[in-house]
Amino acid sequence: MTDPTFRDEELLASVILRLLGGVRHVAVGASSPIPATAALLARHLGGGRPFVSMLSSERHNFFTDGGRELFDCGGQGRIDAFFLSGGQIDGGANINLVAIGDYAKPKVRFPGSFGSAYLYYVVPRVILFRLEHSRRTLVPRVDFISAPGTSPPGVYRPGGPIALVTNRCVFAFDHQHARFRLDSLHPGHSLEEVLDNTGFDFDRPATVPTTAPPPPEHLALMREIIAPLLAEAYPRFAAAVFGATMADASERRAG
């Protein structure tokens, strides 16, 4: 049962916020409203740090040359955290953004990799997220590797995954063993549920802790301060989750 005091989106933003501790610069892609919520909250709590670059925003974006400038910044080691998802994610943290089924005759064709493989290599703290936690999305092996979770010995790779956040739980990624470890279960969800809905094997402690709920003060900030900021880049999300509108964003900017 969902906790009535907060929404799932607020819980996931709170989880991601904790994963952003200590970063200097976090970049957020064009379709990532929950990570954007966490990033803007981190900036507010940090008094302007970390820097936040939201690619779908005019107001919260350092880049003026789109993806090319983002990739340059990542390659220079100036982005500490980024977010990736995929139509499929497997137990080795490989992601698939290309197709399901045979590549030549796919059952489903996705939009494509864009710069995911490159950023996966150069950004040191990549947080994977998937809002549909099912055997359809979390698979034993992806049909196409858009971006590999790990690389062979001798490959220079300062970047890679640190966690996978879903609507049911949080997995931490063990780079040494190239597999996920269940870190916590969200309130109202069980280990049996996660096992039933996960296609890949994963490690887990003897007792799996429950994901900590968002502190009341963070919920208040998300709803009152962050939501109007989100409305500029993610108007539908801001309205559906927080009831915030573009008018709220304009009023916030004017204030």
CA 252 to CA 255: how far, in whole Å?
Answer: 5
Query: Could you report the per-residue pLDDT of 97-133, keeping only the tens digit for each?
Result: 999 999 889 999 998 888 899 999 999 999 999 999 9
At position 240, the amino acid (one-letter code) is A
pLDDT of residue 76: 95
Query: Could you report the per-residue pLDDT of 171-219, keeping only the tens digit for each?
Result: 999 999 999 999 999 999 999 999 999 999 999 999 999 999 999 999 9
- Contact (Cβ atoms closer than 8 angstroms) between residue 158 and residue 122: yes
Beta-ladder partners of 171: 164, 182
pLDDT of residue 11: 98
Long-range contact list for 247-254, CB < 8 A, 24+ apart?
252/228, 253/59
What value does the CA radius of gyration of the chain take, rounded to a whole number of Å?
18
What domains does the chain contain, in order, with CATH numbers? 8-254 (3.40.1080.10)
Query: Strands 138-139, 169-174: parallel, antiparallel or unpaired by DSSP?
Result: unpaired
| Pick from 96, 181, 159: nearest CA to 130 | 96
Q: How distant is the alpha carbon of residue 59 from its chain centre?
A: 21
Q: Which of the pair, 244 or 74, is modelled with greater confidence?
A: 74
CA 43 to CA 26: how far, in whole Å?
Answer: 10
Which DSSP category does 201 fall into? -
pLDDT band at residue 3, thresholds of 50, 70 and 90? Answer: low
User: Furthest-apart CA pair in the chain: how many Å?
Assistant: 54
Mean pLDDT of 68-86: 94
pTM, two decimal places: 0.93
pLDDT band at residue 250, thresholds of 50, 70 and 90? Answer: low
CA 196 to CA 135: how far, in whole Å?
Answer: 8
pLDDT of residue 146: 95
pLDDT of residue 254: 45
